[in-house]
Structure 1
């Protein structure tokens, strides 16, 4: 804060001064300001004391500006008008000219297929907007939203802090991802064959446990454990390794590696709801709303493309932490 802002001057006094000057008297100004006459008079005295000079002189039943008052009014009016317009009529958001930078939290299972599509859309419709992708997952997204480390997030989430808004994007299932050049698997793999083969798993704990171990208390033959879904496709490619992954991830991998294949799992794995989350304080932010709307459209399209791989449980699944 500069010295000018730090000085003992109530800026509301300038508004009272301008209205009195335009009205020509205290009574009329008090009516416009919804204040009492003594309140307006007291405000003028405070301002004149701060300025160190009289601002009005008596003229009949009204008031007229002194030379110092005229100088002050000339300086103050355009700024008061601009402040009023800024408060009552904020600048309209135009994606074509906006240069906002938004921080978007994304889970590792989401970034690969959503971020490239979002960047392409923004390049076409909001060429000056920028996105900073921040890694989040179910354990960290609450703090990221609460501390405003991100403006919005797309991930699986459990309980969230108060003041968080959330929207379900879709419920996802799991499928088996494999390379058919190394595995002869039909539309559905048998359980014995599944546990006989080697696997790559995604573990956020840095161990050999994934969703199968957690849900069924059965151990797979794990050849490799990684912390994200980013390289699962590359690990499966041209190897006999199997990967149990969210359907949307399998769909994205197959777009870039169409020679890979998917199969139905020998057991139902409860999926989780992928959600769009954002702080309530940004609910009316036009730039954030614009990006949220684009994310909803993109996830709807991606889900539609992945539906042929979807393995739906017979009953509505409970939320689970997405690991594979």
Structure 2
């Protein structure tokens, strides 16, 4: 038996072998490979020598494969196809047949606004996929978690992170100011005086310089009174409804929860910039077609 392996075999010979199988003719094979007929004949001769078999013999309709060629054609085709896939990039991501778990680090907004529609789509069109939502890690851990693949995406307001991360905007979310209905405030803009006097329920900020509300107030020489810090959006209207404290929520969440907790919604007393929600991922997974699909779905359900 010949001692043959991929370290000593010219893989171009296998390309010629497959083309001769498909065309059953040296001339047609040379045309499709953009080679001369002599080059194709020379490749076939080398392959015969290496494999110790004729591989193709002349028949009435052209080249006819030998039993050894019939044995080889399937594995050789599969191997060349797999190599093409690797060289061209990741294998295609087909949601309907994919089996995969995506881990997303985010806050309440994703679970409230995006996740229900995303899961509904997955249940109908991509049942082999699973989404796991985990809490936002500390900012100094995000790059390492994304690089290792322990987390696939981080969805949050804008953060200053390492240059090895990629990001794109998902949506922009305006804020509404909420207080209990018994306060009897007129609809429209929330009174600034009351806004500064009454304690606020605030979600803990991940940014070093605070959130967009306090940044905007401080720029105008104003300071609000923080009565309590919480870990998630859902706790804010519960506390506000029982204490009379003020809370500021993303508009989609505020409008849904207002009636449940007997709160009224108002435009903030100051024009706070609408926070941008962004998706972050590591550059090593930038070409991952599954992650690309997930980001597109999240964007489509974010607005």
What TM-score comes out, normalization by structure 1 length?
0.64
Instruction: Quote the Cα distance in structure 1 between the aligned partners of 2:253 and 2:120.
Output: 19
Structure 1 residues 17-96: aligned runs within 5 Å: 17-20=17-20, 26-37=26-37, 39-44=39-44, 46-48=46-48, 50-51=50-51, 53-55=52-54, 70-80=66-76, 93=94, 95=96
Residue in 2 aligned with 1:219? Answer: 223
Post-superposition offset of 1:103:
4.2
* Number of matched pairs: 283
Are the aligned partners of 1:18 and 1:73 in contact in 2 as well (CA < 8 Å)? no
Once the two structures are overlaid, the 10-residue window that deviates more, 74-83 or 158-167, is 158-167
Structure 1 residues 165-184: aligned runs within 5 Å: 166=168, 169=171, 171-180=172-181, 183-184=183-184
Structure 1 residues 1-324: aligned runs within 5 Å: 8-20=8-20, 26-37=26-37, 39-44=39-44, 46-48=46-48, 50-51=50-51, 53-55=52-54, 70-80=66-76, 93=94, 95=96, 97-104=97-104, 106-135=106-135, 143=143, 147=147, 149=149, 154-157=155-158, 166=168, 169=171, 171-180=172-181, 183-187=183-187, 188-205=189-206, 209-217=210-218, 218-254=222-258, 257-275=260-278, 281-282=287-288, 285=289, 288-289=292-293, 294-300=297-303
SS in 2 for 1:176: strand
Residues 251-273 of structure 1, C-alpha deviation per residue, up to 9 Å, x if partnerless? 34337x34233223221111133
Structure 1 residues 208 and 244, CA gap change in structure 2 (3 angstroms): farther
Q: Which runs of 5+ in 1 are unaligned?
A: 301-324
Post-superposition offset of 1:10:
4.2
Instruction: Quote the Cα distance in structure 1 between the aligned partners of 2:101 and 2:292.
Output: 10
Are the aligned partners of 1:105 and 1:141 in contact in 2 as well (CA < 8 Å)? no
Instruction: Quote the Cα distance in structure 2 between the aligned partners of 1:216 and 1:250.
Output: 21
Residues 176-212 of structure 1, C-alpha deviation per residue, up to 9 Å, x if partnerless? 123335x454434322222211112123348895433
Tell me the C-alpha RMSD between the 2 structures.
4.6
SS in 1 for 2:35: coil
Instruction: Quote the Cα distance in structure 1 between the aligned partners of 2:58 and 2:210.
Output: 88
Instruction: Quote the Cα distance in structure 2 between the aligned partners of 1:6 and 1:83.
Output: 11
Instruction: Quote the Cα distance in structure 1 between the aligned partners of 2:261 and 2:280.
Output: 32
Structure 1 residues 9 and 212, CA gap change in structure 2 (3 angstroms): same
What TM-score comes out, normalization by structure 2 length?
0.68
Are the aligned partners of 1:201 and 1:209 in contact in 2 as well (CA < 8 Å)? no
Post-superposition offset of 1:236:
2.4
